[in-house]
Amino acid sequence: MHKQMARRFWTVMLISIVFIFAAIYVSLTNGEFDIKVIDIVKTLLRVDPNSEHDLVIFEFRLPRILIASLIGFGFAVAGATLQGISRNGLADPGVLGINSGAGAAIVIFMLFFEGQITGSGWLSTLAMPLFGWIGGLASALLIYLFSWRNGKLDSERAILVGIAIGFGFGALSMFLSLKMNPQDFEMATVWLNGSIWNANWKYIVSILPWLVILVPIIIKKSYILDLLQLGEDRAIGLGIRTEKEKNVFLLCSIGIVSACVSVAGNIVFVGLIAPHIAKRLVGIHHFWLIPVSGTVGMLMVIVSDYIARTVFSPAELPVGIVISIIGVPYFIYLLFKDSKK
């Protein structure tokens, strides 16, 4: 059984990676300025470099593709983890309000501290995920506070509380952004809708440590998520310190989400849809589910970003809107599906 699951997992991963590279190829070569594959290869290998190609590839498209890959992976892994903790298929960092909490904290950072930190800008870029982590943690604490019943977290109540808290933090973010000057307000509005148009190499450096450190922790402890699906009482009977472990998973998820929100804004539904697709592909065991969710999330955001920047070119949609167009109907479908159980 284990060998069969491993074979299925690696087959799905290989196919996913092929699709991801195909999406990267299309995104790199197409746009307002089309580039041939041979020119991309020459540019990457530094053979007969061209200044125009260097600008388009290294300053615009490649950082954007990498950011799309990282945030897609991060949101999907966090979504799969939150669904495992809550045992609720509707759990998602955006639906639960964690995205909005992290976004509100980053808007506060942008309003009061951006431009006042001396240096090359690296300090502010690296500090934004920390502010987001504080905001996401505040959101999670509020969810715990209002969803705690009889010594346990009520997962169904948590969804409703999370939606309410998300709207509250979203309203706070909009109110604070109105205090900005017109140029900063426009940027904040686009960012809050979920956009990676301003992607750069600094953002990649700022998000990588969070993923490199926290994702392996989640995968290493993934067997605990499997045991939690049996129910808390049974998990405790098997020797699992459920509240401690759930807090570890929650803090890791908040850290990942906060880092993603700090560079891409409030992109929702990736963490909802990707784990459901992964479950259909490799089953419910989280050791296999979490990496596959990550690759599905990567593919979703890369493709959505390509659509966002090309469909209405030269105008550009925030990638969060493109994903929401898919995510809202899927969310409604899941609501009806759960209501019939």
Confidence at 211, pLDDT banded by 50, 70, 90:
very high
Residue 47 has pLDDT above 60, yes or no: yes
Tokens of residue 143, six digits? 């969810």
- Per-residue pLDDT of 247-284, as tens digits, reads 899 889 988 988 888 888 888 889 989 999 999 999 88
Tokens of residue 307, six digits? 């659509």
Q: Which of 94, 86, 79, 85 is nearest to 279 (CA)?
A: 79
Q: Which of 300, 298, 299, 308 is nearest to 327 (CA)?
A: 300
Task: Report the distance separating Cα 83 and Cα 86, nearest Å.
Answer: 5
Q: Give the model's pLDDT for residue 35.
A: 85
- Per-residue pLDDT of 138-181, as tens digits, reads 888 888 888 877 766 676 777 788 888 888 988 888 888 887 77
First to last CA, the chain: 29
Task: Report the distance separating Cα 97 and Cα 118, nearest Å.
Answer: 32
Whether 286 contacts 225, CB under 8 Å: yes
CA dihedral 161, 104, 325, 143 (to 10 degrees): -20
Task: Report the distance separating Cα 306 and Cα 309, nearest Å.
Answer: 5
Q: Give the model's pLDDT for residue 114.
A: 57
Q: Give the model's pLDDT for residue 16.
A: 95
CATH 1.10.3470.10 fits 63-292+320-339, yes or no: yes
Residue 48 has pLDDT above 60, yes or no: yes
Q: Give the model's pLDDT for residue 118.
A: 40
Least confident of 43-52, 101-110, 118-127: 118-127
The residues with which 152 forms a beta bridge, in sequence order, are: 149
Q: Give the model's pLDDT for residue 115.
A: 47
| Strand, helix or coil for residue 152 | strand
Residue 312 has pLDDT above 70, yes or no: yes
Task: Report the distance separating Cα 43 and Cα 50, nearest Å.
Answer: 7
Task: Report the distance separating Cα 38 and Cα 124, nearest Å.
Answer: 38
**More confident position, 70 or 331:** 70
Confidence at 338, pLDDT banded by 50, 70, 90:
low
Calculate the average pLDDT of the chain: 84
Task: Report the distance separating Cα 90 and Cα 80, nearest Å.
Answer: 10
Task: Report the distance separating Cα 75 and Cα 291, nearest Å.
Answer: 12
Residue 117 has pLDDT above 50, yes or no: no
Q: Give the model's pLDDT for residue 63.
A: 92
Q: Give the model's pLDDT for residue 23.
A: 94
Residue 324 has pLDDT above 80, yes or no: yes
Write the CA distances from 180 to 41, 112, 189, 191, 234, integer angstroms.
Answer: 43, 10, 11, 14, 52
Q: Give the model's pLDDT for residue 24.
A: 94
Spatial CB neighbours of 211, under 8 Å, sequence gap ≥ 6:
70, 73, 74, 256, 259
